[in-house]
Amino acid sequence: MGKVEIDVAYVAHLARLELNDGEAEAFQGQLDGVLGHIAALGRLDLEGIEPTAHAAPIHNVFRADEPRESVPESDALANAPLAANGLFITPKIVE
């Protein structure tokens, strides 16, 4: 991990995040600084070290295939910015 520069525009597009005026420049400097700090991890020899994804080493946590009541339609759509005929409405999706 040498000197890294984050491509703010590309990453913002991936995150579907438009930036306000000036934010791109400010974030560029700040994030490059954070990545510079993170680069310290490059000093560690991690050969043969297993990654830790979960604090507790448990596996096979499942539920039985038992249906439960769904929520009423009024709840499902209660917070919708726009809804009609039981559907959530968005700007037209162009595939």
**Residues 61-80 within binding reach of other proteins (CB under 8 A):** 61-71, 73, 75-80
Q: Does 59 bind other proteins (CB under 8 A)?
A: yes
CA dist., res. 88 & res. 95, Å (int): 18
DSSP assignment of 3-39 equals: S----HHHHHHHTT----TTHHHHHHHHHHHHHHHHG
Residue 1 CB, nearest approach to other proteins (Å): 6
15 to 34, contacts with other proteins by CB under 8 A? 15-20, 23, 27, 30-31, 33-34
